[in-house]
Chains A and B, each alone.
Chain A
Amino acid sequence: MARIIVVTSGKGGVGKTTTSAAIAMGLAKKGHKTAVIDFDVGLRNLDLIMGCERRVVYDFVNVINGEATLNQALIRDKNCNQLYILPASQTRDKDALTQEGVGKILDELKKEFKYIVCDSPAGIEKGAHLAMYFADDAFIVTNPEVSSVRDSDRMLGILSSKSRRAEQNQEPIKEYLLLSRYSPDRVKLGEMLSVDDVQEILSLHLLGVIPESKSVLNASNSGTPVILDEKSDAGQAYADIVARYLGEDRPHRFIDEKKGLFGKLFGGR
């Protein structure tokens, strides 16, 4: 049975698109046929992060309007043949999306794909609403600072009351916390909320912590999802997250300060 995953946050700039690209790639690499959809109509980014912007012919809105078929619009990833991207339209706005249209496309995708990852736009308006409406699982991407945590909380409220599962009184959406741009050093200095602080406020199952990392920006600029950079800490963090989501038991990493040999010898920096 196909599962629809929404990657959402409320707040902008926390790493939703980076996360969508990474986990979609991670799931596909594990052999699951996966589609990733960019719901950020008008601010198309996912195709850049996935490195397929020069291959976009048709987009999400074209399919909704019946101007192209789903197969014409889906772009196969160049790194992994199990992964397909449905790009957003850059020339339209979010009003071009309709609940009926989105529902129809997702139903069609469910027949072919194991996982459908919906990259939500920021905010709680129409685009974000439609991205989460049909979801089975939600990845809440949160930065360790108060406004991001507050916005995530708001989004959790919307997930539990305004989604299709909530409206039809079905089993609620499964919610997972992804804490991104985490820097243990700054937590220690009191400049950032700790994992425990965030979990106390959100009381949510922690799927993984993604450390603040230069590799994320490098990956975005080069158009390769960071999970493919297996040497980087962020890439490993996303690989852990995908494995945990699929049921593997992996201990949490990147929560405590990195201590090299010198760190151990001299008691930190």
Chain B
Amino acid sequence: MSTDSQQNIHHLPVLEFKSSTFSVPVLVLASNDIITIEQQLQEKIRLAPEFFQNSPLVFDLQELNSLDLDINVTDLINMIRKLGLLPIGIRGGVARQNQQALELGIPVHSVHSTKDSTANQSGTGVASTAATAGSQKQQVPKPEADPESQVVAASTMLLTQPVRSGQRIYASGDLIILAQVSAGAEILAEGNIHVYGSLRGRALAGVQGNTEARIFCSDLQAELISIAGNYKISEDLNGAVLNQPVQIYLQNHTLVIKDI
């Protein structure tokens, strides 16, 4: 997020309701054994710790309930939180489970396909209102995009105007720029960076530690490029890659610059 949007706050109404769609991982359970779930979940987290850290999560009990397996929702929520995930919704639960979730501040999301269970029927009213409330809550931590940018997907920022010297752009996901990035400008993204113009400023991808992030640009003249903290300055770039369309990625903690 750039500093510009902070200034807007003083000129615009201080709040506004918008509807957005987010992609959130859904944990579908097939067992009611919390210990086993915890072990297997831990395994998954170990594979991609950065992805799961503080990640929002919706858990889905539809399958469990169709198998008539009951689960203690309070224990489940506590276990998920203990592993560093942030549960933001329950789906497919029966009325009692939904009630337990609501008591812990977890909104209830409706499953459009299930209308057969009577428990679900009775909870529908609560579910739909809670779901809307829940989706509003999800918006709060999402940074409002730069006025000149458009949200393409949940976490992609698209800029169509040049990024000028002295400007700083931060994207919490991928960053796509269809114009040039001037010398003295700085673009940062937690995900990948694409620049379909000359890249003359500083480009930092994977700034939260994502070593899989890449930088793609159609004309490399950057002052600095960095992926997950591994950087090269302009002087380190050899003539073979300068002014070329390249991709930049991390291999064994070393930046690799390759033409595309």
Using a CB–CB cutoff of 8 Å, the interface residues on chain A facing chain B are 150, 153-154, 156-158, 160-162, 166-169, 172, 200-201, 203
Produce 1/0 per residue, B178-202, CB < 8 A to A: 0110111100000000000110100
Asked whether A157 lies within 8 Å of B2 as measured between CB atoms, the reply is no
Nearest chain A CB to B16's CB is how many angstroms away?
Answer: 13
Taken together as a complex, chains A and B put the C-alpha atoms of A168 and B8 apart, in Å, by: 8
Tell me, yes or no, whether B165 is within 8 Å of chain A by CB: yes
Asked whether B7 lies within 8 Å of A167 as measured between CB atoms, the reply is yes
Contacts A150-B183, A203-B180 given: A157-B164 contact, CB under 8 Å? yes
Produce 1/0 per residue, B153-183, CB < 8 A to A: 0000000011111110000000000011011
Please list the 4 inter-chain residue pairs (A to B) with the smallest Cβ-Cβ separation, ordered nearest first.
A157-B164, A153-B165, A154-B165, A161-B4
| Chain B residues within 8 Å of chain A by Cβ, number | 23
Closest to B168 in A: A157
Asked whether A203 lies within 8 Å of B164 as measured between CB atoms, the reply is no
Asked whether A153 lies within 8 Å of B183 as measured between CB atoms, the reply is yes
Closest to A164 in B: B11
Tell me, yes or no, whether B148 is within 8 Å of chain A by CB: yes
Q: Which of B8, B164, B200 contacts A154 (CB 8 A)?
A: B164
Asked whether B183 lies within 8 Å of A168 as measured between CB atoms, the reply is no
Contacts A150-B184, A168-B11 given: A157-B167 contact, CB under 8 Å? yes
- Point out the residues of chain A lying under 8 angstroms from B184, CB to CB: 150, 153-154
Tell me, yes or no, whether B147 is within 8 Å of chain A by CB: yes
List 26 interface pairs A-B (beta carbons < 8 Å), by A numbering: A150-B165, A153-B164, A153-B166, A153-B184, A154-B165, A154-B166, A157-B163, A157-B166, A157-B185, A158-B164, A158-B166, A160-B164, A161-B4, A161-B167, A162-B4, A162-B7, A166-B4, A166-B147, A167-B4, A167-B8, A168-B11, A200-B198, A201-B182, A201-B183, A203-B162, A203-B180
Task: Tell me whether chain B's interface is mostly helix, strand or loop, or mixed.
Answer: loop
- Point out the residues of chain A lying under 8 angstroms from B164, CB to CB: 153-154, 156-158, 160
Taken together as a complex, chains A and B put the C-alpha atoms of A162 and B180 apart, in Å, by: 20
Taken together as a complex, chains A and B put the C-alpha atoms of A158 and B183 apart, in Å, by: 15
Mark out the residues of chain B between 64 and 123 whose CB falls within 8 Å of any chain A CB in the assembled complex.
Answer: none
- Point out the residues of chain B lying under 8 angstroms from A158, CB to CB: 164, 166
Contacts A153-B183, A166-B4, A203-B180 given: A160-B148 contact, CB under 8 Å? yes
Which of B163, B164, B198 has the most C-beta atoms of chain A within 10 angstroms of its own C-beta?
Answer: B164
- Point out the residues of chain B lying under 8 angstroms from A157, CB to CB: 163-167, 182, 185
Asked whether B183 lies within 8 Å of A160 as measured between CB atoms, the reply is no
Nearest chain A CB to B69's CB is how many angstroms away?
Answer: 52
Nearest chain B CB to A116's CB is how many angstroms away?
Answer: 22
Produce 1/0 per residue, B3-20, CB < 8 A to A: 010011001000000000
Nearest chain B CB to A120's CB is how many angstroms away?
Answer: 16
Produce 1/0 per residue, B132-153, CB < 8 A to A: 0000000000000001100000
Mark out the residues of chain B between 211 and 249 whose CB falls within 8 Å of any chain A CB in the assembled complex.
Answer: none
Nearest chain A CB to B163's CB is how many angstroms away?
Answer: 8
Nearest chain A CB to B189's CB is how many angstroms away?
Answer: 19
- Point out the residues of chain A lying under 8 angstroms from B8, CB to CB: 167
Taken together as a complex, chains A and B put the C-alpha atoms of A154 and B166 apart, in Å, by: 6
Taken together as a complex, chains A and B put the C-alpha atoms of A201 and B183 apart, in Å, by: 9
- Point out the residues of chain A lying under 8 angstroms from B11, CB to CB: 167-168
Nearest chain B CB to A129's CB is how many angstroms away?
Answer: 12
Closest to B11 in A: A167
Q: Which of A150, A153, A168, A203 contacts B179 (CB 8 A)?
A: A203
- Point out the residues of chain A lying under 8 angstroms from B198, CB to CB: 200
